[in-house]
Chain A
Amino acid sequence: MIVTEASRQLLEDCGVDSDRLSLEWASAAEAPRFVELITGYVSKIRDKGPLGSSDGEVSRDTIKRRLAAAVKAAGARKPRTLLGNLAKKLSKSGDYSKEAIANGVKAKVLPAMRSERISHELRILLSEAPLDMKSLCTQTGASAEELEKIMAPLVKKGLISQKKGKIALVAGE
């Protein structure tokens, strides 16, 4: 449930309707219930339409790019450690209510996942062409302060450079 909640919030962060991910239970003896669940879920997705066409979703290309970055973010060490710590904390407190999990993920894990996602997306975008700050903000969906914070370590490492308002990937990377 914690992993699903984390995935859900990561998807929402990428501009995907999180209702597209569902977690349900059906025991081995509950075939009728299983059929009901699947039928309901498929008709729900059918109503939503293809990925990127539901309410509040961004365009398909943007989603694809963000998800490519999100895959890397979900595998990064920092968010995974935080997720593990959160799981430990929740099991200690014994509170597995939906709200407790959602709030925990939102407070502890989501910020790390988001900044990892934006950092990877930045590199994907810049590998195509140098961009200015404003278009980077609109493409990644991050605010300027957020973006600057994420870019600072990358500039320090010499991975990206900032000249005359244009941001580019340093060659030979």
Chain B
Amino acid sequence: MAKENAVEKEKEMTQEGFDPKILGFFCHWCCYAAADSAGVSRYQYPPNVRVIRVMCTGRIDARFVVEAFRCGADGVFTGG
């Protein structure tokens, strides 16, 4: 039981210590505007996403996504 607790605690600690780097591709007309209005209306959300604005989600290419991971992103969020 104690060991289980320790493992869980360790897991919690590593989770807290790990700040994922996430790259966001946001559509100018939808998700980007949503993110903007979320900011204006003072909603709280995690600051881990670095945003790249694209004029349309259709602009995104497989190359962008793979390159993002190659440069060390832990996740890629595409918002249409």
Compute how far the CA of A25 lies from the CA of B30 in the bound complex, rounded to whole angstroms.
Answer: 8
Q: Which of B20, B45, B77 contacts A50 (CB 8 A)?
A: B20
* Closest residue of B by beta carbon distance from A17: B75
Compute how far the CA of A25 lies from the CA of B56 in the bound complex, rounded to whole angstroms.
Answer: 12
Determine whether the beta carbon of A35 is less than 8 Å from that of B43: yes
Determine whether the beta carbon of A64 is less than 8 Å from that of B30: no
Determine whether the beta carbon of A22 is less than 8 Å from that of B63: no
Would you call A107 an interface residue if the criterion is a C-beta within 8 Å of the partner chain's C-beta atoms? no
Interface residues on B, range: 35 or more
Interface residues on A, range: 35 or more
* Residues 18-38 of B at the A interface (beta carbon under 8 Å): 18, 20, 22, 29-31, 33-35, 37-38
Compute how far the CA of A27 lies from the CA of B34 in the bound complex, rounded to whole angstroms.
Answer: 6
Minimal beta-carbon separation of B4 from chain A (angstroms): 18
Given A47-B15, A50-B20, A51-B73, are A7 and B65 also a contact pair (CB < 8 Å)?
yes
Given A21-B78, A42-B48, A45-B75, are A64 and B70 also a contact pair (CB < 8 Å)?
yes
Q: Which of A30, A38, A46, A64 contacts B77 (CB 8 A)?
A: A38
Determine whether the beta carbon of B34 is less than 8 Å from that of A34: yes
Given A11-B69, A67-B70, A71-B66, are A25 and B37 also a contact pair (CB < 8 Å)?
no
Given A46-B15, A64-B70, A70-B66, are A34 and B35 also a contact pair (CB < 8 Å)?
yes
- Per-position 1/0 for B45-80, Cβ under 8 A of A: 110110000000100111101110110111111111
Would you call B5 an interface residue if the criterion is a C-beta within 8 Å of the partner chain's C-beta atoms? no
Determine whether the beta carbon of A41 is less than 8 Å from that of B22: yes
* Closest residue of A by beta carbon distance from B15: A46
Determine whether the beta carbon of B79 is less than 8 Å from that of A34: yes
Would you call A171 an interface residue if the criterion is a C-beta within 8 Å of the partner chain's C-beta atoms? no
- Per-position 1/0 for A3-23, Cβ under 8 A of B: 110110011001010001111
B-side residues, CB < 8 A to A, are 14-15, 18, 20, 22, 29-31, 33-35, 37-38, 41, 43-46, 48-49, 57, 60-63, 65-67, 69-70, 72-80
Known contacts A42-B20, A74-B66; 11 additional CB pairs below 8 A are A11-B66, A23-B57, A23-B78, A24-B31, A28-B30, A31-B37, A35-B43, A42-B46, A68-B70, A74-B61, A75-B63
| The 6 A-B residue pairs with the shortest CB-CB distance in the complex, in nearest-first order | A28-B33, A67-B70, A31-B38, A34-B34, A45-B75, A74-B62
